[in-house]
Chain A
Amino acid sequence: MADILPLRFRMLHYISTVEKTSVDQIMKALEPEYGLEKQFKKEVLMEHFLDMKANLIIEDNDVVFDDKGELLIYYSINDEGRRLLEKYLPKRWNQPSFL
């Protein structure tokens, strides 16, 4: 697996492939790639979300309480996030099999 992206980069890429995602959903989706790594924790991924939001490349406009009454934030990519991906995502990752 020589071509694994840095986790934050991969998260941004994943967000671009779905309409919106929560931290639990993205963990499920990226588990096959990063699941065995010690850094793959909910609080670490949440920190990446908050940082990317602060860097104005993702949005957090969709927010609800789940069945257990916990806050559920959905993140979606914005134009600036897409622009960065188009420009800097390694070419191999643009192929449809990775989408």
Chain B
Amino acid sequence: MKRAGDQTAFLMKEKLNANFARKGIFTGLFSGCTWGLNSVLLGMALSLVPVMGGKAAIFAIPLAAACMNDFIAGLWLLFYNGGAGRLKEITRSLKTFPGLMVVIAALLGGPIANGGYLLGISMAGPAYALTITALYPIVGAILSRIFLKRHILPRVWVGMLISVIGAIVISYVPPEGGNGETFYIGLLFASLAALGWGAEAVLAVFGMSMIDPKIAINIRELTSGLFLAIFILPFVGGWAVISHVVTQPGAIGAFAICGLAGAVSYLAWYKANSTVGVAKGMALNGTYVMWGVIFSVILLSQPLTQNLVIGSLLVLMGTTLVAINPKQFFSKVGRHNHG
């Protein structure tokens, strides 16, 4: 081990690394906050779409919304990366193996996980489906332990568990009871969603060892949006929803704003995952459940329920535990810790 004799220089370097990690923690929290905002804005944008009954309401509308959200976010990110002189990095990255891993991550996290999430809710009911999908940070942490060989501190595991319980409390809706065979298939779909989001983060983090997170997320959003548009929407009647949206300037504007919030959020999530690791990054992003409900209370005047208050406190406690080792965080020169 080569270590300079100059202790001050060494301590300054450690401080630089600690500050970088701390910035990563805040970036992760910011990703959760903007994702919560994105969910609420998406709900508001969808309310501008003319009422469509039957099949459209169950699959076409949410999938078309997911498609527009990802694709428009991808376009915003193209502007962002273009402005920073990084556009060429996209094709360069796609010619490498890590770049292709990001494409696979996009398919797992976009169409597969989103699709599983929607099918899970419709077949097993929100009570069970949301509880299962809320487990995705834990799935991601386990996968990162196995595939990225990242050591995860006991403190981080406990924090993650507490915040997952908080997320479940927030999104809890009284179960309607198991109904027949589709119920269990629905549970499988919800598990697929948790697995898909967890696997997305792990694959993306692997890719981002060698490619820029800002490019990785641009590839992710465009891949997911295009795949949904070409291979999924035609089979669920999703294009009919999009054609309704494009005829209404107000709705287009609303989706453009949602896409911007989505772009900022995903950019922050990928950056945080790359900086502080999948386990912490996902747990911090998982605060979106809490932010989402807080934004609904503020923007949509929804009532502040007991579940929201208790669940939010649990999420806050859990993520604080995930993010912060009190000894390190408040010491002037913290050691960069990769939990």
Q: CB within 8 Å of B: which residues of A?
A: 3-9, 12, 20, 37-39, 48, 50-57, 60-65, 71-73, 76, 84, 87-88, 90
Given A6-B210, A8-B210, A54-B21: A62 and B4 interface contact (C-beta under 8 Å) = yes
Q: Are A6 and B338 in contact (CB under 8 A)?
A: no
A12 surroundings in chain B (CB, below 8 A)? 209-210
Q: List 30 A-B contacts (CB under 8 A).
A: A3-B95, A4-B92, A5-B92, A6-B211, A6-B212, A8-B210, A9-B210, A9-B211, A12-B209, A20-B2, A37-B86, A39-B89, A50-B275, A54-B17, A54-B274, A54-B336, A54-B338, A55-B205, A55-B208, A60-B13, A60-B17, A62-B4, A63-B12, A65-B6, A65-B8, A71-B9, A71-B12, A73-B13, A76-B2, A90-B95
Which residue of A5, A20, A57, A65 contacts B9 across the interface (Cβ within 8 Å)?
Answer: A65
Q: Are B13 and A8 in contact (CB under 8 A)?
A: no
- Give the A-B pair count, Cβ closer than 8 A: 100
Which residue of A7, A37, A53, A87 contacts B212 across the interface (Cβ within 8 Å)?
Answer: A7
- B window 13-43: CB within 8 A of A: 13, 16-17, 20-21, 24
Q: Are A63 and B213 in contact (CB under 8 A)?
A: no
CA distance A51 to B99 in the complex (A): 17
The answer to the question of B85 belonging to the interface, with a C-beta cut-off of 8 Å to chain A, is yes
Given A6-B96, A56-B338: A84 and B4 interface contact (C-beta under 8 Å) = no
Closest to B277 in A: A54
A4 surroundings in chain B (CB, below 8 A)? 88, 92
Given A9-B98, A54-B338: A37 and B4 interface contact (C-beta under 8 Å) = no
Interface size range of chain B in the complex: 35 or more
B85 surroundings in chain A (CB, below 8 A)? 37-39
A60 surroundings in chain B (CB, below 8 A)? 13, 17
Closest to B24 in A: A54
CA distance A55 to B98 in the complex (A): 14
Q: Are B1 and A61 in contact (CB under 8 A)?
A: yes
The answer to the question of B321 belonging to the interface, with a C-beta cut-off of 8 Å to chain A, is no
Q: Are A88 and B98 in contact (CB under 8 A)?
A: yes
Looking at the assembled complex, report how far the CB atom of B93 sits from the nearest CB atom of chain A, in whole angstroms. Answer: 5
Q: Are A7 and B210 in contact (CB under 8 A)?
A: no
Which residue of B3, B99, B276 contacts A54 across the interface (Cβ within 8 Å)?
Answer: B276
Looking at the assembled complex, report how far the CB atom of A63 sits from the nearest CB atom of chain B, in whole angstroms. Answer: 4
CA distance A63 to B10 in the complex (A): 6
Closest to B275 in A: A54
A20 surroundings in chain B (CB, below 8 A)? 2
Closest to B10 in A: A63
CA distance A3 to B92 in the complex (A): 8
Q: Are B99 and A38 in contact (CB under 8 A)?
A: no
**Digit string of B206-226 for contact with A (CB within 8 Å is 1, else 0)?**
001111110100000000000
